[in-house]
Chains A and B, each alone.
Chain A
Amino acid sequence: MAKVGLDGHDRGLRVVARILRDAGFEVVYAGLRQSPETIAAMTAQEDVDVVGVSMHNGAHLTLAPAVVDALRAAGLDTPVVIGGIVPPDDVATLLDQGVAAVLGPGASNDEVVASVRGAAGVGPLS
């Protein structure tokens, strides 16, 4: 779970980390000011199944693909889920650029868990 770039608004990141922990995920909390490269390194090191990136400041069209590309450059095909403020018109673009899923404002706890499980290729909670 990380934020890339300069933005420090991490309420969503912290809340989603807890939602996922409560749902049984092991969460590696990388926190603020990560770069695509540090995310890729951590993903490899911790053998992570899904990368979650929180984005709120309008830079998603640059930063999200950068994360995907950094993972691929490191030889990883780990799915990336983006959460935060992404205008609906940009969602398709992000998916085209290799993002696995986008969680927008108002996503429920259940939607968050389902989205991450889906990205990880794990079946739904029974």
Chain B
Amino acid sequence: MSGVPLEPVYGPVDAELPGQFPYTRGPYASMYRSRLWTMRQFAGFGSAADTNGRFKELLRAGGDGLSTAFDMPTLLGRDSDDPLAKGEVGRAGVAVDTLDDMETLFADIDLGAVSTSMTINSPAAPVLAMYVKVADKSRVARAALSGTIQNDILKEYQAQKEYVFPPRPSVRLVTDVVRFAAAELPRWHPVSVSGYHIREAGSTAAQELAFTLANGFAYVEAAVAAGSDVDEFAPRLSFFFNAHIDFFEEIAKYRAARRIWARWMRDRYGASKDRSLQLRFHTQTAGVSLTAQQPQVNLVRVAIEALAGVLGGTQSLHTDSFDEALALPTEHAARLALRTQQVIAEESGVVHVADPLGGSWFVEELTDELERQAEDVFAHLLEAGSGSILDGVIACVDDGWFVSEIADAAYGFQSKIARDEWKLVGVNAYVEDEDLATPTLTIDPAVEKEQLARLAAIKQAREDDAVRRSLARIAGDAADPAVNLMPALIEAAGHMVTVGEAMHALETVFGTYVERQVA
């Protein structure tokens, strides 16, 4: 802009550089000058065919990666015909019961060319198994598959509560996916260690940072304990952070995250590959920051939050739609959300310099402060775990520490709003008398009926013996912690074993988790 040629990065001669340990300023030297973040909009509703349609629209509109939202039954490893699924099929995301749904979901989409993210946790292993089977059937090489599966169970106990099995067997499942991916899916991220949900549950930025990284360290310890060398799998770990409205704090948070990860991975876990030390992350703008009041103001919030993600050096970004305080986004709102990213990328000029806020006294001080607060949390977890972050995290899950820390922070925010110390435009400031009805996406109740019919037909047509054998194999493999469950799950997927059936087989071995009441 203005005819001044820009340097790729700015700072004094001896300043830390992006692409240089400890990567505070970014994992890559040239950041967005070489490659923009992936514009990866989360989508999913109704049937696999409905979502396939939305995927194609997003790709046509310029999105360059897919991100799949599953419905509540699928997220909890239950089929559409499960009694608990009644009323929930296809409502919060897409219903996936069998391989057939997975094939429909990605119909006419080249899995070897398009990067796909799947947001699912407890049933991540059987769902990834289905995805791999779809690729196998379409003759896409496993080595060509590019994408992410969230597969971050620890944050479920802490925040999102989509758990099924208890922590230790669940961590074993995460580890099986990590090790399978290290061996067979070199372009796949087998975990997306997530802070987004922790923040949405009400944590502070410092808690989001600390709890997320701690969970990441826990998975590192688990995979190493299972026999992997840290550099075998660490390069493919990825992260997922929230982009909330406090602009500079968020930017500092991402920078602190990179620095902490690099130091811990090198100095505590002995990683030596650059890729093991470079924290790479996806960002989503904060759902909880959206208001139902004056919803178009959400466009402004999302733009500010997205910009924080970009200035913080995110590798991938989802921008929320303005109507999402009330429902899943309409097509129009989803397109505007994507356009928000495109304006930042194409018009704002911020992409021409890596870590442009590096060196700002304010941002550097915030970065240092967040790092300090995170280290306090790590110290607490190390103590709780007698020197193991994995054991400390599980101990603090068991005694409700994370849940109560987050609940206290959430209540603190609500109290600030109640006392007008925190202004929310449209809610306790600049309030208007308004009709809150905005056109929202509605899910046709026929979706549930049609999915049930499809599922019944598949169960009718498939080979019962093969299903039985597959389920027996899953349960047998689950009982032996030394066996990786992925091959059994992939085989089962091919025989049209449902997500619910696979999860039930695992449950007979792993048991179920009941949250300790902390309220």
- For A5, A8, A18, A85, the residue with the greatest tally of chain B CB atoms inside 10 Å of its CB is A8
Q: Does A19 contact B (CB under 8 A)?
A: yes
Q: Top 4 closest A-B pairs, CB basis?
A: A8-B161, A62-B87, A29-B519, A58-B91
User: Complex Cα distance A83/B19, Å?
Assistant: 47
The reply to whether B88 and A59 contact each other, CB–CB distance below 8 Å, is yes
- Closest-CB distance, A17 to chain B (whole angstroms): 6
Of the listed residues A7, A19, A31, the one surrounded by the most CB atoms of chain B closer than 10 A to its CB is: A7
Which B residues are in CB contact (< 8 Å) with A6? 72-73, 75-76, 78, 84-85, 88
Cβ-based interface call for A88 (8 A): yes
For this complex, into which size category does the number of interface residues on chain B fall?
A: 35 or more
Whether A15 contacts B91 by the Cβ 8 Å rule is no
- CB contacts (< 8 Å) of B427 on chain A: these are 106
Residue contacts A-B, CB under 8 angstroms, 24 given: A5-B84, A5-B88, A6-B85, A6-B88, A8-B161, A8-B162, A10-B161, A11-B202, A14-B410, A15-B407, A15-B411, A18-B407, A57-B92, A58-B91, A58-B92, A85-B325, A87-B326, A88-B326, A89-B440, A104-B292, A106-B291, A108-B428, A109-B415, A109-B418
Is B443 interfacial (CB-CB < 8 Å)?
Answer: yes
Q: Which residues of A contact B92 (CB under 8 A)?
A: 7, 57-58
One digit per residue, 1 when the CB lies within 8 angstroms of any chain B CB and 0 when it does not, for chain A 1-30 equals 000011111110011011100000001010
Number of interface residues of A (CB under 8 A): 32
B293 surroundings in chain A (CB, below 8 A): 106
Q: Which of chain B's residues 202-219 have a Cβ closer than 8 Å to chain A?
A: 202
Q: B4 — which chain A residues lie within 8 A by C-beta?
A: none
- Of A15, A62, A106, which one neighbours B202 at CB under 8 angstroms? A15
Main SS of chain B's interface residues? loop
A62–B88 Cα distance when bound, in Å, is 9
The answer to whether A124 has its CB under 8 Å from any CB of chain B is no
- 4 A-B pairs besides A57-B92, A106-B291 with CB distance below 8 A are A57-B88, A58-B443, A59-B72, A85-B325
Residue of A nearest to B203 (CB): A11
Q: Which residues of B contact A123 (CB under 8 A)?
A: none
Q: Shortest Cβ distance from B242 into chain A, in angstroms?
A: 13
Contacts of B443 in A (CB 8 A): 58
A108 near B87: Cβ-Cβ < 8 Å: no
| CA of A59 to CA of B92, assembled, Å | 9
